[in-house]
Amino acid sequence: MILVTGGAGFIGANFVLDWLAQSDEAVINLDKLTYAGNRENLASLANDQRHVFVHGDIGDSELTRRLLAQYQPRAIINFAAESHVDRSIHGPEDFIQTNIVGTFHLLEAIRGYWSGLSEESGQRFRFLHVSTDEVYGSLSKEEPAFSETHRYEPNSPYSASKAASDHLVRAYHHTYGLPVLTTNCSNNYGPYHFPEKLIPLMIVNALAGKPLPVYGDGQQIRDWLYVKDHCSAIRRVLDAGSPGETYNVGGWNEKPNLDIVHTVCALLDELSPRADGRPYQQQITYVTDRPGHDRRYAIDARKIERELGWKPAETFATGIRKTVQWYLENQDWVGNVQSGAYREWVEKNYGERQP
């Protein structure tokens, strides 16, 4: 079996669902269930004995050691992380504790477990650490995309904490020989995406008749990857990646944020028109940009295609249509995640940004 950390969050839950749809290998799912961790993401697995959910923190070394001893996983995939830049600006301490200290405690528990395995099991074992392209910093329009050898230049508390966790993972490989793999991925989108992030926020606000807040001039460029393509990349890296290696995962879809918002609005005009017949674009509102907003991210995903034969199956056009349709068809899920805490966060983050 495998152990997945952070498997009730957006990417982690999609990974668990896809894994069990394609394999009979059991999953132990460890998640702290913070604001973005949601058991409802895993509702379809409620009676599936291949899925064992454990409510807990990767920083709890005693719990992690107990789980490793009890279940003896052949691999661990670490999705557990605080992951929203805006939240890291308002409250960086949680990001330091989870992404750095938590990763350290997880690595220590894994190192102890791995060192006690038989030679054969130890050679087969893998620890896959899921990271972000934001550790590389910001690019100008003219600069080449991030490769695996690009210098780390994180610019937010979030990206700095993820960079630190990447360095710890690397160090545990080079110092102790722990067989690690690291993936650095571009912006994901798709089902179960918590609606504080750009695409689900635009969908949810548009349907509610609320303003669609766009930071600054909206020309910040990101590379967008459909979440199920990311999941397939992780499975491929876990299966065939070389220990100690890093693989950048991207969708080859660089687009300015404003273009993303326009695309979402156009799809909603088609699939769920406003009652008054007016376009959703009328709800776009430009607000004060966030501090230190990176201008462009771009992933060079040639290494994973060249060495492991992986490339995304979805174009942005196909992926974003599937995403909008999912949100339209899952309004109960959307309503349930918009708790009082979520509303307070949205008001805190966007209420202070003047148009």
- Encode pLDDT of 129-144 as tens digits: 999 999 999 999 999 9
Catalytic residue among 31, 57, 82, 133: 133
**Distance from the Cα of residue 266 to its chain's centroid:** 26
Q: How many angstroms separate the CA atoms of 277 and 232, rounded?
A: 39
Q: What is the pLDDT of residue 34?
A: 83
The token pair at 294 is: 């990176």
Calculate ∠ Cα 326-330-333, nearest 5°: 125
Residue 355 scores a pLDDT above 70: no
**Distance from the Cα of residue 149 to its chain's centroid:** 21
Q: What is the pLDDT of residue 345?
A: 46
Contact criterion met (CB below 8 Å) for 298 and 141: no
Q: What is the pLDDT of residue 351?
A: 61
Contact criterion met (CB below 8 Å) for 12 and 4: yes
Is 342 marked active-site? no
Q: Give me the number of domains the chain comprises.
A: 1
**Does 94 fall in a domain?**
yes
Q: How many angstroms separate the CA atoms of 290 and 270, rounded?
A: 31
DSSP 8-state code for residue 5:
E
Whole-number percent of the chain with pLDDT over 90:
86
- Please provide the average confidence, as pLDDT, over all residues in the chain: 93
CA distances 297 to 131, 135, 137, 147, Å, are 14, 10, 8, 11
**Does 347 fall in a domain?**
no
**Does 319 fall in a domain?**
no
**Distance from the Cα of residue 84 to its chain's centroid:** 9
The token pair at 56 is: 């807990």
Is 143 marked active-site? no
Banded pLDDT at 340 (limits 50, 70, 90): very low
The token pair at 336 is: 């349930």
Q: What is the CATH number of the domain that holds 301?
A: 3.40.50.720
Q: What is the pLDDT of residue 290?
A: 78
Is 352 marked active-site? no
Q: What is the pLDDT of residue 344?
A: 57
**Does 199 fall in a domain?**
no
pLDDT, mean of residues 280-296: 91
Residue that the structure tokens 């940009």 belong to: 289
Which spans in 2-102 are helix H? 10-22, 61-71, 85-90, 93-95
Q: What is the pLDDT of residue 329?
A: 98
**Does 119 fall in a domain?**
yes
Residue 24 scores a pLDDT above 70: yes
Contact criterion met (CB below 8 Å) for 205 and 212: yes
- The residue count of the chain comes to 355
**Does 165 fall in a domain?**
yes
pLDDT, mean of residues 330-355: 66
Q: Tens digit of pLDDT for each residue in 240-273?
A: 999 999 999 999 999 999 999 999 999 999 999 9
Residue 80 scores a pLDDT above 70: yes
**Does 111 fall in a domain?**
yes
**Does 144 fall in a domain?**
yes
Strand 254-256 with 221-226, pairing: antiparallel
Residue 339 scores a pLDDT above 80: no
Banded pLDDT at 195 (limits 50, 70, 90): confident
**Distance from the Cα of residue 309 to its chain's centroid:** 22
- DSSP per-residue codes, 205-235: HHHTT--EEEETTS--EEEEEEHHHHHHHHH
pLDDT, mean of residues 187-194: 95
pLDDT, mean of residues 71-82: 96
Angle between helices 10-22 and 227-240 (to 10 degrees): 60
Residue 9 scores a pLDDT above 90: yes
Q: How many angstroms separate the CA atoms of 234 and 228, rounded?
A: 10
Residue 84 scores a pLDDT above 90: no
Catalytic residue among 158, 172, 189, 350: 158
Closest CA to 192 of 33, 4, 5, 13: 13
Residue 226 scores a pLDDT above 50: yes
Catalytic residue among 31, 57, 86, 134: 134
Q: Tens digit of pLDDT for each residue in 109-126?
A: 999 999 999 999 999 999
**Distance from the Cα of residue 110 to its chain's centroid:** 22
pLDDT, mean of residues 268-284: 98
Whole-number percent of the chain with pLDDT over 70:
95
pLDDT, mean of residues 333-346: 67
* Domain that residue 235 falls in: 2-189+225-252+292-314
